[in-house]
Structure 1
Amino acid sequence: MQRSAFPRRELLKGVGLGALAAAGAACGAPGGDFRTDDEKIVIGFVSPRSGALASFASGDDFVVERVRRTAPYAKGFTVGGRRYAVEIVVKDSVSDPRLAAQAARELVTHHKADMILTSSAPETTNPVASVCESQGIPCVATVVPWEAWYFSRQADPDNPRPFTYTTMFFLGVDQFGGCFVPMWERIPTNKVVAAMFPDDPDGNAFRRAWPPILEKAGYTWVDGGAYRDGRDFTRMIAKFRRERCEIFINAPLTPDFNRMWRQAAADGFRPRLATVAKVLLFPSDTLPLAGLVDNIATDSWWGPYMPNTSSLDGESAKSLAEAYQSASGRQWLQTLGSVYSLFEIAYEAFSKVDSPRDRKAVAARLRTLNYSGMSGVLDFSRGPVPGVAVQQPVGVQWKRGVGRFPYEMMVVDNSLNPAVPIGAELAPTNP
């Protein structure tokens, strides 16, 4: 097993954004071919459609409806020589960990879910996965660092045991390092890095994960200090200025970053390159800061620039993004591809077993799945730990848009994913 840079006992221990508001729709073949529950596969989906992390799920409705129209979902899955209608039941995680777990339990007991899919931050994915593991329900999660999903759910993080029913795909700490450090190397700096990490599970985990990466790359670490949400950042900013930090990293809540970044600009802390995590992942995050987001860099795991296509109907990543923009009037967002792939994975797993009711067989198929789809190649059989598939992100910067949207995410570094074309020159955040 590959060891993570995260010390295991300090890993993210988020619990979830709950979900109670449910919406389900059956997707049967034309002509009413499916009549009984025994002829139906139920797939539950839990994500933060409202509450603090609602921006992660703002495209979920669009993706679910688009998936429902693909041939496998509209006509039904063929499993073991039989055709089954497919019903997708959606639960909103309302940004409450307890409700995330409760939503998963409702999907199991009331809706009789054959598989549960979940997305967007450990606050949602971890409690949902834990319920599924305890109830013996196949589950796939995404948009959560794999270390946070895997180790924080262990009874003993120092002696982890593979899960039987729960799997996931996304990035890990090695991918964050492999995405950010190459961008740092291309901007002349004094190699002193300012770190803004809160006193919460995310912040404490990243605070312990980054120093080994920085040391190996020849950078000096300046910790701004663990802070509580909503505080004044005067002392932190003063420390960054005093230590002459020219690179900036973080993993805060969006309101805290917005407050800190405005204050930093006013107080004269202007790092040469800002590389942020957890914030500025979506277009809506850029609006409150306006010009202060110019050339801030982050990671991108999916976008219209990815050379990926759907395994359900061959649609390209670019087409999916454009269709979302046309239908919603809003800018594309990264979670479109992630959520789409959850439903690809469900189809792949069910279509390779003899019965959708054989949960152990479905779960075993998930753990060995290796396919290419909307999120590129996902190989669960060769992950850093059993049942985990890792994506390779690219480095992007927010740059002023030339069309209908004020800011666009542009690819500036493809060190981890050379198949993605460079779209713009990497530029200092502050010249």
Structure 2
Amino acid sequence: MDKKKVKKNVGTLNRREFVKKTAITAGSVYAASTLPSFIGSAQAADRDHILIGRPNPSTGPLAAFGEGTPWADEIAVNEINKAGGIMIKKLGKKLPIKIKTVDTQSNPTKAAEVASQLILKDKVDLMLFYHTPDTVNPISSICERFKVPAISLDSPLEPWLEGGPYKWAFHAFWSVEKDIVPVYTGIWDQIETNKKVGILMANDPDGVAWSEVFKKAGAEKGYELFDKGRFPYGLQDFSP
């Protein structure tokens, strides 16, 4: 292998740092642009803040993804509230933001449960959540059911689209097919090989989506992909 032929990856921003930085921008921009359309004048009498629900995988296998959430939220809330909050035209006043974070325990069923509680019990105005289909997909479905505006990040586009169509849920992230596969095949094309590639994916919505997209796209590029099936999430021993 001629290492000189392999281009160096100049990116220095890892996924966790990307999520931290994106969370501030996406959350504040979406809240500022969307909430004024959803809060009605009938609520003005007892409305003194905007409540955002934050289901987050604080514990469990996905905790590494969720650990930056409180940090990002604090910065966003402080900046918005320092400016007086968000102007709600129907109410004729600005309202400060408050966030209620609840642990999903990295479990899809728990994620749906806490999202329902945030909507029905806490009466949140907006749901903001990220980190893999195990978090994003069930919460998006709950928000659609109860007609609560929602925005999500950090989960491939393909698994999220399978749960649509959506009217109340909005998602921003990359596509495996259009954004990730070209990166991998671009690297593979720089090296002379037998064009046989082994793939190993977890038995979760992420793994299922990635494996199907990669097998199709790889074949179109002349690669033969060998998929030995899904492995349980959290598996530590990969020996035969």
Question: Does structure 1 residue 113 correspond to structure 2 residue 124?
Answer: yes
Mapping for residues 184-203 of structure 1, pairs under 5 Å: 184-203=188-207
Q: Distance in 2 between matches of 1:38 and 1:106?
A: 20
* Counterpart residue number, 1:404: none
Q: Which amino acid in 2 is paired with 1:173?
A: V
Q: Distance in 1 between matches of 2:49 and 2:208?
A: 44
Which residue among 67, 75, 81 is the counterpart of 1:73?
Answer: 81
The CA RMSD measured in Å over matched residues stands at 2.2
Question: Does structure 1 residue 136 correspond to structure 2 residue 147?
Answer: yes
Q: Which amino acid in 1 is paired with 2:63?
A: A
Conserved 8 A contact 1:117-1:141: yes
* Counterpart residue number, 1:322: none
Q: Deviations over 1:306-332 (max 9, x none)?
A: xxxxxxxxxxxxxxxxxxxxxxxxxxx
Distance 1:189 1:179, change over 3 A: same
Equivalenced residue count is: 193
Distance 1:215 1:108, change over 3 A: same
Q: Deviations over 1:132-151 (max 9, x none)?
A: 10101000111111110121
- Which has a greater percent of helix? 2
Q: Deviations over 1:66-107 (max 9, x none)?
A: 11221x233211121411121111111112222211211121
* Counterpart residue number, 1:54: 63
Which residue among 166, 169, 172 is the counterpart of 2:169?
Answer: 166
* Counterpart residue number, 1:93: 104
Q: Distance in 1 between matches of 2:204 and 2:115?
A: 25
* Counterpart residue number, 2:183: 179
What is the TM-score when the length of structure 2 is the normalising length? Answer: 0.73
* Counterpart residue number, 2:24: none
Conserved 8 A contact 1:39-1:83: no
- The Cα of 1:215 is off from its aligned counterpart by 1.7
Q: Which amino acid in 2 is paired with 1:148?
A: P
What is the TM-score when the length of structure 1 is the normalising length? Answer: 0.42
What are structure 1's unaligned runs of at least 5 residues?
Answer: 1-35, 155-161, 230-252, 265-431
Q: Distance in 1 between matches of 2:65 and 2:203?
A: 22
Q: Distance in 2 between matches of 1:166 and 1:144?
A: 14
Question: Does structure 1 residue 43 correspond to structure 2 residue 52?
Answer: yes
Conserved 8 A contact 2:196-2:223: yes
Question: Does structure 1 residue 64 correspond to structure 2 residue 68?
Answer: no
Conserved 8 A contact 1:125-1:141: yes
Distance 1:206 1:132, change over 3 A: same
| Percent identity for Structure 1 against Structure 2 | 27
Q: Which amino acid in 2 is paired with 1:120?
A: H
Conserved 8 A contact 1:140-1:166: yes
Secondary structure (helix, strand or coil) at the match of 1:95 reads coil
